[in-house]
Amino acid sequence: MAFLRSITTTTAAAVLPAAFAVAAFSPSHSSNFFSSKTLNLSFLSQTSIPRPDRLGFITNFTSPLSALRMDSPTSEQKPPSQKNGDLPELLTEFMVDMKCDGCVNAVKNKLLTVDGVKGVDVDLSNQVVRVLGSSLVKTMTDALEQTGRKARLIGQGVPEDFLVSAAVAEFKGPDIFGVVRLAQVNMELARIEASFSGLSPGKHSWSINEFGDLTNGASSTGKVFNPTNQVITEEPLGDLGTLDAHENGEAFFSGIKQMLRVPDLIGRSIVVYETGDKSDPGITAAVIARSAGVGENYKKICTCDGTTIWESSNTDFAASKV
């Protein structure tokens, strides 16, 4: 089966960027961090690469120090019990339903209490919130929704010279639901976040497979992705290890994979297996699609059906299931 390379842009669960230049912003509530024509975030990719485990995952990653001039949390805002995350810093963009200065302050103050958040910038005129840090997308989304405002992820990444640097795979049931987001941190590292529901309790292997052919479900996706022109660990590069599903069927994952390049994954698939053994049948699969990066997705009206981003957000996902 030929490898499916149709590049599908998915804006509902956006993740990282291609190379781009952002024109100067002039809204009254946007900080001077975005006042230049081009974002200078090269420091985000200048990180030392720790020693990976046998699957190429890095479990002890130290996030680089932030040099962005954004609102940063004070010792009073940051709960003392929280610890810094293991993930590298990324810039994450949300569309948030904000109408006034009170909305801006509520959103900033809430996000600045989230562990891993280094800075927050709010563009009220465009209803865009930009967050710099290592926090998970789900954690930041939950924090925004706790302010009583609708929020939707529209972009994530590190502006670099990547043709494609963000991707997403969506599992839409009927039994297993989930979202997997992949973001290129630099040429040597990719960041992975995943959340699933509907799994049987226990361990489930999962992997990136060769093909995005779902004609026969997981069985038609080929072998575990393993490029021959790349130096890899003892396991195939596409081996993602195992997920640990709780009694309620939910499983979450966040980590960094060495030598994984997001552009090579578009059109392939992510497969979840019945048990921790990949020789068992795959029980669900989803195609990996290109996703929007930072500054690539500021639309508020869906071109396919004319609904606003808030109405579209509520119908695109079964949020309680992932």
Note the pLDDT tens digit of each residue in 293-309.
Answer: 666 666 655 545 555 54
List Cβ neighbours of 81 (8 Å cut-off, separation of 6 or more).
none
7: three-class secondary structure by DSSP: coil
Please provide the average confidence, as pLDDT, over all residues in the chain: 74
Q: 319 vs 184, which has greater pLDDT?
A: 184
**Contacts made by residues 35-40, CB under 8 angstroms, sequence distance 24+:** 38/159, 39/91, 39/159, 39/294, 39/295
- Report the alpha-carbon angle 253-257-259, nearest 5: 160
190 alpha carbon, distance to own chain's centre: 10
Task: Verify that 127 and 177 share a domain, yes or no.
Answer: no
Q: What is the mean pLDDT of residues 266-280?
A: 94
Task: Verify that 229 and 251 share a domain, yes or no.
Answer: yes
Task: Verify that 186 and 247 share a domain, yes or no.
Answer: yes
Task: Verify that 91 and 178 share a domain, yes or no.
Answer: no
- Whether residue 272 lies inside any domain: the answer is yes
- Whether residue 101 lies inside any domain: the answer is yes
| Its pTM surpasses 0.75 | no
Task: Verify that 83 and 110 share a domain, yes or no.
Answer: yes
Q: Which of 49-53, 78-82, 197-201 has the lowest mean pLDDT?
A: 78-82
- Whether residue 44 lies inside any domain: the answer is no
pLDDT per position as a tens digit, 18-31: 333 333 333 334 33
Task: Verify that 18 and 56 share a domain, yes or no.
Answer: yes
Task: Verify that 105 and 147 share a domain, yes or no.
Answer: yes
Q: How many structural domains are present in the chain?
A: 2
Task: Verify that 176 and 121 share a domain, yes or no.
Answer: no
Share of the chain above pLDDT 90, in %: 52
Q: What is the mean pLDDT of residues 173-194?
A: 93
Would you place residue 279 in the very low, low, confident or very high pLDDT band (cuts 50, 70, 90)?
Answer: confident
Q: Quick check: 230 pLDDT over 90? A: no
Task: Verify that 104 and 237 share a domain, yes or no.
Answer: no
Q: What is the CATH number of the domain that holds 87?
A: 3.30.70.100
Task: Verify that 156 and 190 share a domain, yes or no.
Answer: no
Would you place residue 322 in the very low, low, confident or very high pLDDT band (cuts 50, 70, 90)?
Answer: very low
DSSP H/E element including 130: strand 128-133
Task: Verify that 198 and 266 share a domain, yes or no.
Answer: yes
Q: Which domain holds residue 85?
A: 9-39+50-65+72-161+292-317
List Cβ neighbours of 42 (8 Å cut-off, separation of 6 or more).
160
- Whether residue 137 lies inside any domain: the answer is yes
- Whether residue 229 lies inside any domain: the answer is yes
- Report the alpha-carbon angle 279-283-285, nearest 5: 105
Task: Verify that 152 and 299 share a domain, yes or no.
Answer: yes
Q: Quick check: 35 pLDDT over 50? A: no
Paired tokens of 74:
């004070």
Q: What is the pLDDT of residue 182?
A: 95
Strands 9-10 and 289-291: parallel
Q: What is the CATH number of the domain that holds 243?
A: 2.60.40.200
